[in-house]
A and B are shown apart, each in its own frame.
Chain A
Amino acid sequence: MPATTNRPLRLFIDIGLWLLTVAITLLGLAALTFFIGRILPIDPVLSIVGEKALPEVYQRVYLELGLDKPLWQQFIDYVIKLLRGDFGTSFSTSRPVLTDLLNFFPATLELSTIGLLIGVALGVPMGVASAYWHEKWPDHLIRIIGLVGYSVPVFWLGLVGLFVFYYLLDWVAGPGQLDVFYVGVVDRVTGMILIDSALAGEWDIFWNAVSHMILPALLLGYYSLAYISRMTRSVMLDQLSREYVLTARLKGASEFRVVMGHALRNAAIPLVTVIALSYGGLLEGSVLIETIFSWPGIGNYIYSSLFAADMNAVLGGTLLVGIVFVLLNMLSDVLYRVLDPRSRELAK
């Protein structure tokens, strides 16, 4: 068959096109961030030298940042450096931006992943239950839980959480990633404390990290749960009203099999996108959660860099978030093919 002989070529073109799309997306993102950064009313030179510095000091830093060149030239210089893998140096940390990202991102990755697992583990069953008992009390209850998650300010909930579970009940550890006692004990391998401490066999530290992480992770989980359960509910409602569900029931399939085996299986495809988007949102880092819990994540890094007009850091952070979204998109594409036989057929 000709389709078979052409397959390698086809795959090659597919990957090529995909890479091109990714490259254009990231370039567009970099351009947008770059030019928005330049029209912000913050003078990067002043935020380095302070408003009392001598004019010659101002001039030196101005030249050092390359601000004397035309804007397009600055952008091209940046992109060329980027292609060499050089994200530039952040003046607010004096470290290469890449080093910073590798420092801050794992903390966010770890927290978000656990948050997402909680959100999915609770949100999907809740959404299914909500759809199954449509307009009955479990539905109302679950929707109220979701509504609270949507509408209560995370800042408030975080502080109340700390007050109750940390201050009053002493169930969890306080702000920060570890007790001071343990800071710097374990070698940094992945940057994710749970993994690093487990690798080192330091179980005291592992459990201490869990204790620090559980509250912010639950909060993140709660917020993604609110979204995931709502989306699961609506997708499931749609599926449960389909004719194949009726057919299955007429054939005498058990309710469990109808809901979990048939309806949820079909609902899973759009849910993959929902979950991937939630994950992407979490991986951008939550500035408020990070502030309350003194969590050294990527959200605060980008946020504080933006206010310091530290554009290399902001650009690096934005590109990282962009790459995360591209990867998640790719992942959900792959999952689509696994979950939906039709998309595999189409691909042929």
Chain B
Amino acid sequence: MRLYKTLVAAALGTVMSVSGAFAETPADTLVIADAIDDIITLDPAEVSEVGGVLMSQQMYQPLVTFDPADPTKIVGVLAESWEVSEDGKTFTFTMNPNAKFASGNPVTAKDAEYSLQRVILLDSRISFILTQFGITKENVAEKIKAMDDATLVIEVDQKYAQSFVLYVLSSFTGGIVDSVLVKEHEGTREDGSNDYGNAWLKADNSAGSGPYVLTKWDPKVSILMSRNENYWGEAPGVERIFLQHMPESATQRLALEKGDIDIANKLGPDDIGAVEGNGDIQVLEGNSSTIYYMGANVRDEALSNPKVIEAMKYLIDYDGIAETIGRGTIKVHQTMIPDGFLGGNIDYNPYSFDLEKAKALLEESGVSLPITLDTVVWNVPPYPDYAQAVQATMAQAGINLDLQVVDGGPWLDRYRSHDLDIWVGLWGPDYPDPHSNAKAFTVNDPTDPDGAKGNLADRFGWNSGPLSDQVLAAVQEQDTQKRAEMYDEIQRAHTDSSPFLYMFQDSRRVAMRSDVKGVVLGITFSDDRYGAVTKE
């Protein structure tokens, strides 16, 4: 036994003497902890997971972008300017002559043409974002076209709001790749079709014009990016970004307090609260576009009665849930467009927990109580917590939620096949434009009466009446200010009449070391911008 003791003591002693020397992250590297095991690609033509989008945004740039502080300000990035034809269908972009790729190649309209076309030609999982403009594999060569090196023309199928088309192009789908470089690495897929460099871009390669280039992607472990030495904008303040897979919130907190990481992207409410008093740590606040809501299937007889729905809206203790369960991670939000988006921030939260009012409404409805509703809930936090809280308050008025807490698979299946009365879930927009939400929650599509393609109004059996046409009009409105006003009006009516019980919007709170400066939080989880980061 003595020998073992000596050995253990010796081992521990050595460890004690060697550790502690590097308790800080290297000054030229920004170390970000996140859960990255869901990232399956970094190719801008198909990224859509939060972490993947976040990383690809540092490497690829869109034609245009917007100011996260004021989304009505749309500015050029790789495009210098743009014009829209009289009929609103033809967008002509003039490329920025200063822009160049990390390879040193200039960014031309040919690159933009190739990049946007490949989203569609690849049958990418995010191709729906561009096909909604009537662009198909067959006509893409005509609809997205480089007239010369400086001019790109995009033709859409009908008159849309300029801001709508531009927001879509500003999203991750619109990241432009170096066509000269990517074409050299085109391969074939299993079915024999061209992969447009997809396999190459999923290995340790990038071909963008952004502040960073991909150095190494170790799937499910880490992603290392280095400064783009050819960057045509202002050079980034740190040489490397290292994204480390650290899934556990408590572990992230310890590493952040210790200074082993610079930014903790996945801190839960407890841990955010715990680091807030620490002088070495700052907590940045921003918006996330995720909305938590409950959808009521109005195919159910009781739920088809608008008074019942209205009563239910008064039977949620919004403030109580936000305070005791959310603890700073959510804020009460009762409209369909998230704050931070065009048309958001209207601050219309008419409902609060009011048992008497709800009882009166139920009385008026004539529905005989109690009623029991099949309520489908995803079995991961925070959904069961929200659902239980709502269950408790609704029961007081005789509305019994039969909570069916299930895995993600069945949760989505029953939602898609509307095999439920109430769905407790979330909505995250696909691109930073209000239409993504407005269309899903409002538009009725006669060709798809059950909302199989994703129109939630149809899926929950709701005829939105004139609101559907109003949404379709808003997406065509050319005047951005006027467009915002239209959404204001639509949202109020929608909140009052729809079977969607909007509850909360995610508030983002990101903790980082105090010496990290220049992080710009985007309006979604995946839109943060690290190009201007410095460490003092």
Contacts and interface: CB of A to CB of B under 8 A. Distances in A.
Contact of A184 (B23, B128, B216, B257): B216
A54 B191 contact: no
Given A93-B219, A301-B220, A57 B246 contact: no
Given A179-B260, A180-B25, A56 B203 contact: no
Contact of A166 (B7, B127, B254): B254
A207 B199 CA distance: 37
A294 B40 contact: no
Given A51-B416, A54-B131, A294-B245, A91 B19 contact: no
Given A48-B40, A296-B220, 13 more contacts: A41-B409, A42-B408, A52-B430, A54-B123, A54-B131, A92-B38, A103-B221, A172-B15, A174-B255, A175-B251, A208-B18, A300-B37, A304-B220
A50 B48 contact: yes
B459 to A, nearest CB: 12
Nearest to A294: B246
Interface string A114-151: 00000001100100010000000000000000000000
Contact of B190 (A64, A207, A304, A308): A64
Contacts of A183: 222, 224, 242
Most buried by A among B37, B242, B416: B37
A291 B37 CA distance: 11
Nearest to A303: B37
Nearest to B224: A184
Interface string B163-200: 00000000000000000000000000111000000010
B53 to A, nearest CB: 12
Interface of B: 1, 4, 7, 11-12, 14-16, 18-20, 22-23, 25-26, 29, 31, 37-38, 40-41, 48, 123-128, 131, 189-191, 199, 202-203, 216, 218-222, 224, 242, 244-248, 250-251, 254-255, 257-258, 260, 407-410, 412-413, 416, 430, 454
A184 B244 CA distance: 13
A94 B255 contact: no
A294 B244 contact: yes
A57 B12 contact: no
B16 A171 contact: yes
A29 B48 CA distance: 34
Given A41-B410, A122-B4, A180 B221 contact: no
B26 A181 contact: yes
Given A52-B430, A180-B25, A294-B244, A167 B454 contact: no
Nearest to B410: A41
B454 A180 contact: no
Interface of A: 40-43, 46, 48-54, 56-57, 60-61, 63-64, 91-95, 100, 103-104, 121-122, 125, 129, 159, 162-163, 166-167, 170-176, 179-181, 183-184, 204, 207-208, 210-211, 214, 291-294, 296, 300-301, 304, 308
A287 to B, nearest CB: 10
Nearest to B193: A60
Contacts of B41: 94
Given A41-B409, A170-B23, A91 B254 contact: no
Contacts of B430: 52
A61 B46 CA distance: 13
A166 B246 contact: no
Contacts of A49: 125
B123 A60 contact: yes
Contacts of B245: 294, 296
Given A52-B128, A184-B224, A210-B18, A159 B250 contact: yes
B258 A167 contact: yes
Contacts of A91: 40
Given A48-B40, A208-B22, A159 B224 contact: no
Contact of A125 (B4, B29, B199, B216): B4
A175 B254 CA distance: 9
A185 B453 CA distance: 49
24 contacts: A42-B408, A48-B40, A50-B48, A50-B125, A53-B125, A53-B126, A54-B123, A57-B123, A57-B124, A92-B219, A100-B219, A125-B1, A167-B254, A167-B257, A171-B12, A171-B15, A175-B246, A175-B251, A175-B260, A181-B26, A208-B22, A210-B11, A292-B248, A296-B245
Contacts of B242: 180, 183
A94 B219 contact: yes
A304 B4 contact: no
A294 B251 contact: yes
Nearest to B247: A291
A89 B408 CA distance: 24
A174 B220 contact: no
Contacts of B216: 184
Nearest to B23: A170
A162 B255 CA distance: 10
Contacts of B29: 180-181
Contact of B409 (A43, A184, A301): A43
A100 B38 CA distance: 15
A296 B245 CA distance: 9
